[in-house]
Amino acid sequence: MARGAAAAVLGVTVVFGSSLVTTAGAAETAKPAGIVLGVGATESQRVVSWYTSANTAQVVQVAPASKVRNGQFPRNATTFPATVAANTVNGGYNGHATINGLKQNTEYAYRVGTEGGWSPVYTFRTQKFKGDFDFLFFGDPQIGSSGDTARDGAGWADTLNVALTANPDAELLVSGGDQVESANNETQWDAFLASDRLRQYPWAATIGNHDVGGKAYEQHFWTPNTDRSAPFYNGDAAARSGGDYWYIYKDVLFVDLNSNAYAAGSDEAHIGYVTDVIHEHGQDAKHIVLVYHHSIYSPADHANDTDNQQRRKDFPTAFSNLGVDLVLQGHDHSYSRSYEIKNGQKANPAEQPGATQVVQGPGGVIYVTANSASGSKYYDLTAPDTSKDPDYGPDPLNPDHHWANSVENQEHVRTYVKVQVRDDKLVVENVRSGTCAAPNAAVELGRVSWCGPDSGATPARPVGSLVDKVVIHTTGDRGHGHGGKPGRPDWVGQEPRDGKATVTALS
């Protein structure tokens, strides 16, 4: 059975809930809550973020799980000091610390706080630091958007459980943005963070349009290599969150953008950021994956939003020139997988709808949009409408769909995207994590009137069944900006590479 499932808590009662009251006196022991494991700059790092009741010195304590018995850490456990700052909303404080120097193939135990005020003990596991791995991508949990936070949270927790029970060796959980409906609503954040899976597997946060209107997003998630310069940030540093960031995990360079910032030169700035990161670090990776919230080849309600039309003009040629392999997006609460797109055009006119194998040529990029991972809200597919955007019309091979998309799907059931990273290919699957039965808030509450394939005419397919699967072959001389994809030097994956970290070997 899933190692992850058993890993939750070692011998300590869970106390949870991050809605904190600010009563901290100097002598008060800080009470941590809302703990979340985040992605680090490399596979040998993790970041832990949390909320806390007091602005005292706090740490993350880490030891190999085999050395932790009955919640007791060994004397030589390693501590990583936290940075603690005042929350700007709802009182309290937030802390984060970066865990460095992890070894491969090791299960670690960790806890947050200080002597006399420790959190429960959680575990995570590293795997081999080179080679193949799988990661999971989740669209718009958007907890609270059905109007029923508890139901949305139940669907989200179930998707995490289903996905990680089926894929206990998945190494990253990648966000498509819109963690919550209302940026600073800590009840929604509590429901988002309720599953212990988010303390066992690293969450790679992405900011959506619903997260951006307040500071809670960046108070909950510290991310590595983050640039919060004004063009990436969407303005108003006191009241908004976000920024662009990157990390390298084994053979993949991930670049995560705050697509809320798009006007007044921001798209140009994002392209500059992606260009710089790929020029500096693309040679250290075999594959390049971009992540941002606002899908540009959107299949549903947001297809012709003015801002998406703008990004659809601004982004694709740059991404082709830079040798991006895969773009992961959210926002439209429905699933799409594009054809191979080069410079904003279908690269190979003969590529058939739903093709299960795609061989990427130079500049070929696949764009994926994730459906709702929580069931809180679904958007129905829309017909292409050239009166709104003459450049986003129907697919000649399948006129119901937009020209860019090989697959478009909406069944009003929860799904997640699984990506298998292999030496010469990326395998992308869209997997059902729910059915029409509860938890499925939008269906339960009558927000949608049908459920199942073919607009509800066909009974729902079982949990774990596939909506889509494609093997993207990424080999060959692709003329990429990151230079022919050479093998990675031996040191890659052995040490943190952000230049800021203090390496502490964990024994």
Size of the site for Fe ion (CB under 5 A): 3
Rounded to a whole number of angstroms, the minimum distance from the CB of residue 89 to Fe ion is 21
Indicate the residue type of 125. Answer: R
Q: Can residue 181 be called a binding residue for Fe ion (CB under 5 A)?
A: no
Residue nearest to Fe ion (CB): 178
Q: Which of 325, 332, 292, 281 is nearest to 475 (CA)?
A: 325
Cβ-based nearer residue to Fe ion, 45 or 146: 146
Cβ-based nearer residue to Fe ion, 281 or 333: 333
Q: Can residue 140 be called a binding residue for Fe ion (CB under 5 A)?
A: yes
Under 8 Å between Cβ of 139 and 156: no
Rounded to a whole number of angstroms, the minimum distance from the CB of residue 152 to Fe ion is 12
Rounded to a whole number of angstroms, the minimum distance from the CB of residue 377 to Fe ion is 7
Those residues whose C-beta lies under 8 Å from the C-beta of residue 203, and which sit 6 or more positions away, are 36, 37, 38, 39, 173, 175, 221
Cβ-based nearer residue to Fe ion, 372 or 435: 372
DSSP reduced 3-state for 310: helix
Start-end of H helices in 97-176: 149-166
Cβ-based nearer residue to Fe ion, 53 or 142: 142
Bin 403: left if φ > 0, else alpha if -120 < ψ < 50, else beta.
Answer: alpha
Q: Which stretch binds Fe ion (CB under 5 A): 58-66, 134-142, 360-368, 476-484?
A: 134-142
Q: Which residues pair with 367 in a beta bridge?
A: 327
Rounded to a whole number of angstroms, the minimum distance from the CB of residue 372 to Fe ion is 8
Q: At what angle do helices 266-281 and 306-314 cross, to 10 degrees?
A: 40
Rounded to a whole number of angstroms, the minimum distance from the CB of residue 28 to Fe ion is 38
Rounded to a whole number of angstroms, the minimum distance from the CB of residue 203 to Fe ion is 17
d(Cα 53, Cα 84) in Å, to the nearest integer?
11
Residues 142-161 that bind Fe ion (CB under 5 A): 142
Cβ-based nearer residue to Fe ion, 178 or 267: 178
Q: Can residue 211 be called a binding residue for Fe ion (CB under 5 A)?
A: no
Cβ-based nearer residue to Fe ion, 247 or 297: 297
Q: Which stretch binds Fe ion (CB under 5 A): 88-96, 110-118, 178-186, 242-250?
A: 178-186
Those residues whose C-beta lies under 8 Å from the C-beta of residue 202, and which sit 6 or more positions away, are 37, 38, 39, 40, 46, 47, 124, 171, 172, 173
Cβ-based nearer residue to Fe ion, 87 or 410: 410
Under 8 Å between Cβ of 159 and 413: no
CA atoms within 13 A on the CB side of 128: 6
* Both structure tokens of 332: 């439209």
Q: Which stretch binds Fe ion (CB under 5 A): 135-143, 247-255, 316-324, 342-350?
A: 135-143
d(Cα 332, Cα 386) in Å, to the nearest integer?
19
Q: Which stretch binds Fe ion (CB under 5 A): 85-93, 172-180, 281-289, 470-478?
A: 172-180
Rounded to a whole number of angstroms, the minimum distance from the CB of residue 378 to Fe ion is 10
Q: Which of 158, 160, 184, 174 is nearest to 87 (CA)?
A: 184
Q: Which 8-state DSSP code applies to residue 198?
A: H
Rounded to a whole number of angstroms, the minimum distance from the CB of residue 212 to Fe ion is 11
Rounded to a whole number of angstroms, the minimum distance from the CB of residue 208 to Fe ion is 6
The gap from C-alpha 37 to its chain's centroid, in whole angstroms, comes to 12
Cβ-based nearer residue to Fe ion, 220 or 286: 220
Cβ-based nearer residue to Fe ion, 136 or 207: 207
Cβ-based nearer residue to Fe ion, 178 or 408: 178
Under 8 Å between Cβ of 142 and 330: no
Site mask for Fe ion (CB under 5 A), range 234-273, x = bound: ----------------------------------------
Q: Can residue 336 be called a binding residue for Fe ion (CB under 5 A)?
A: no
Under 8 Å between Cβ of 340 and 365: yes
Cβ-based nearer residue to Fe ion, 121 or 143: 143
Rounded to a whole number of angstroms, the minimum distance from the CB of residue 103 to Fe ion is 38
Given CA atoms 490, 492, 495, 501 in this order, what sign does their dihedral have? positive
Those residues whose C-beta lies under 8 Å from the C-beta of residue 271, and which sit 6 or more positions away, are 314, 315, 318
Rounded to a whole number of angstroms, the minimum distance from the CB of residue 267 to Fe ion is 20
Q: Can residue 178 be called a binding residue for Fe ion (CB under 5 A)?
A: yes
- Chain positions contacting Fe ion, by CB under 5 A: 140, 142, 178
